Amino acid sequence: MKRTNRLFLSIVTVLCFLVSCGGKKDAAKNNTEQQPEALFAVNTMKIQRSNISDYIKLTGNVQAKTNIQVFPDQNGKISSIAVKIGQSVVQGQRIMEVNPSRPGMIYALSPVIAPISGVITSLPYEIGDTVSMQTPVAKVGNLSRLEVIANVAEKYISKMKVGLNVAIMVDAYPNMPINGNIYEVSPIVDEVSRTLEVKIEPKGANAALLKHGMYANIKIFTENKKDRVVIPSSCIITRYGEQSVFVICNLPTEISNVTISKMLATSTDDEKALILRYFPRILPASFRGDVFETKILRSLEKRNEERTTLLSLYQKDEDNNLYKLKEQGSFNSNCEKAWNIFLELGQVFVLPISKIFKSSISEDEQLRSILIDKGIIEKTTKFVEKRIVRSGIQIDNKTEIIEGLLQDEEIVYSGQSLLENNAKVKIVQLLNIVY
C-alpha cells in the first residue's frame, strides 16, 4: 500500500512538473509574441543650405618681404657695431667696422654699409668675432612690407595656386584674424622635407599687427562653395564604405504583405486607391528552392490550380537554387491569386515602399491618419529612411552633401547608432543648428 502511494505521488509530481514547464513555455511564447517593436529616442534637425570652404591648416613665419643679407668687404675681426636689432637705417649707413689687420700688418678699418633703407633684423655676431667675406654679418629688412612663408606638404601641391585666400592667426592677437592671399608659389619641391614653399601677403587693417619673426597659424582656402546642403558630419553613418543619413518619415519605408491586406480589407475605395499607390502589392522577387518546393508547393499538393498559378509566375534557377519571379507588366489576376495563396500559407514578406510615388503633404497626412486609425502605427511614432548620400567637402565637423538630401528635410542628429531602415522613432528634440 505504501509502495502504491509512493508511486502515485511520483506520478503526480511528474505531471505537475510537466504542466509547470508547459505553462512556462506558453508564457514565454506569449511574452515573445506580445513584445513591442523597438522604439528609438532620437534628436533631429532640419537640413539647411549654407556656404562651406575647404582649407589646409599650416604654420608659417612672418618675415620682411625685403630682407637683405649684409656681407663684409674684408676678412677680419669685428671692431665696432654701430646699430642694434630693430634700429632703422638708411641706404649707405655704416652698420659696423671690420679690422682686416694681420700680425705684422696694419690696415685701415673696413666699414660694412647698409645696402638698402630699412630695419636691422639680424646681428648674429659680436665685437671681436672673426668673419669672412662669405659670412652674413647682418640683415636689413623693409618692415613696411611683410609676408608669411609656409611650407605645404607634397600631397597638397596640386591645390596650390596664386590668389588663394588665406586666414592668418598669431598668438599675440588670438581673436583678430588677418586676411591674406598667396602671391608666390615656389616652382620646386624641397627634396629633404618634401614640401613646397608658398609666400602669403597679409592684407587689411589687421595686417599692421604683424611683426617680423612672429609664428603664424594659417588656413589656405582651396575651395569655396556657396548655397550648398550642409549637415554635421556626425549625422553620417559610414558602413562598408557606404555613407548614409537617417531621414525622418511620417510613413513607413517598408511594410509587410499581411499589413497591406489588413488595411485594404477595411478601407473605402478612395482609401484603397491611395494605399495601393503608396503601398503597392508586389510579389517577392525570389524564393529559395527548398522553401518554394517543400513549404509552398508541397502545401498545395492537392490544389493543382494554385500550384499551376505559382509555377506560371516563378521559374527555377538551377544554378542558384532559386525560384525567380518572371517579368510581369503589372499586378495582374495571377499575381492577385499568388498574393492570396502566400497569405493563406502564412508566407509573410516585407515590401519596400515605392520610390516613384511622391505624395503631397495632404495625402501624406491622410495616409498617416489611415495607418493610425487602423492601429498600424501610434500617433507619436515616426519612421526613418536610411538614405544613401554622396558627400563633398568635409571640414570642421561639417559635410557638404552633393546628392541624397534636400533642404528642409528632417534628419537624425543623435541616437542613430542602432537605427536601421524603417525603424520606429520618437523625436525627443528638434535642434536648431545654424552654420
State the average pLDDT over residues 85-110.
93
How does residue 11 score in pLDDT terms, banded at 50, 70 and 90? very low
Q: Say whether pLDDT at 14 is over 80.
A: no
Whole-number mean pLDDT of the chain? 88
| pTM of structure | 0.70
Query: Per-residue pLDDT tens for 222-280?
Result: 999 999 999 999 999 998 889 999 999 999 999 999 999 999 999 999 999 999 988 99
Among candidate residues 230, 253, 255, 225, the one with its CA nearest the CA of residue 389: 230
* Mean pLDDT of the region 65-77: 93
- The pLDDT assigned to 3 comes to 47
Confidence of residue 357 (pLDDT cuts 50, 70, 90): low
Distance, in Å, from the CA atom of 118 to the CA atom of 139, rounded to the nearest integer, reads 10
Please check the confidence at residue 144 and state whether its pLDDT lies above 80. Answer: yes
Q: Go through the chain and tell me how many residues it has.
A: 435
Give the per-residue pLDDT at 9: 45
pLDDT in tens, 172-224: 999 899 999 999 999 999 999 999 999 999 999 899 999 988 999 999 999 99
